Amino acid sequence: MQLPTRLLEGYRNFRGTRLPTEQTRYQELAEHGQSPEVMVIGCCDSRVSPEVIFDARPGELFVVRNVANLVPPYSPDGSYHGVSAALEFAIAVLKIKHIVVLGHARCGGVQAYAEDDAPLSPGDFIGKWMSLIAPAAAQVGGRSNRPQAEYLAQMEQASIANSLDNLLTFPRVQALVAEGGLTLHGAYFGVATGELSVRDPATGAFLSIAG
């Protein structure tokens, strides 16, 4: 069965325009392997592509994406852990120097948690996954008189901070950060505006990057 027409058209455009200018780059990556210095943990939301936002070339970013860009705490219990596996590979094999947790405005996962939506399936995979945001939600507190958009933005940003805290529960991450060999970053992307804000680790505030 053929791929969707849009994907075929996109691939042909890639072959005809971008690939010729980056063919040497792809050959080098194929022969020598990847060696990115930055890992991005982002949301699987189709509007928030790290490679597009950071205008990255092939091989520059090691990206793992999931619903609401969450990082679970260290839990070596023998279960399946996709984010933890990617993190382990990035640190042990790729020797990355930076990890960026990239959140975004209007996150459907955060909204589902805040509004306590009904499960989408008997397994409630999203509900179980989004329970990881509970510490961030407790920090933000109830909505009270805050506008919905403001409340959700605070939840989204608090969740980024919570994921950064969870990264530090991984012994190897904690050790590398203490040694200065690894730096953790929080970033927040405005889908409607295209504005990127970066978390100040000293204050916890998200500061807009000047264009």
Angstrom distance (rounded) from CA 185 to CA 43: 15
CB 100 within 8 A of CB 39: yes
Most confident stretch, 79-93, 110-124, 137-151: 79-93
Give yes or no for residue 207 having a pLDDT over 70.
yes
Angstrom distance (rounded) from CA 171 to CA 148: 37
Rounded average pLDDT over 98-120 = 92
The pTM of the full predicted model, rounded to 2 decimals, is: 0.95
CB 85 within 8 A of CB 27: no
Given this model, what pLDDT does residue 73 score?
Answer: 97
Rounded average pLDDT over 83-109 = 97
Given this model, what pLDDT does residue 1 score?
Answer: 76
Give yes or no for residue 43 having a pLDDT over 70.
yes
CB 101 within 8 A of CB 50: no
Given this model, what pLDDT does residue 211 score?
Answer: 58
Helices 82-92, 171-179: axis angle to 10 degrees equals 40
Which residues neighbour 66 within 8 Å (Cβ) at sequence distance 6 or greater?
41, 43, 44, 82, 83, 129
Domains and CATH numbers, the chain: 1-33 (no CATH), 34-208 (3.40.1050.10)
Instruction: Say if residue 108 is exposed, middle or buried (CB neighbours under 10 Å; 0-12, 13-18, 19+).
Output: middle
Given this model, what pLDDT does residue 118 score?
Answer: 84
Give yes or no for residue 210 having a pLDDT over 90.
no
Which residues neighbour 13 within 8 Å (Cβ) at sequence distance 6 or greater?
none
Arithmetic mean of pLDDT over the chain: 95
Model confidence pLDDT, tens digit, residues 168-203: 999 999 999 999 999 999 999 999 999 999 999 999
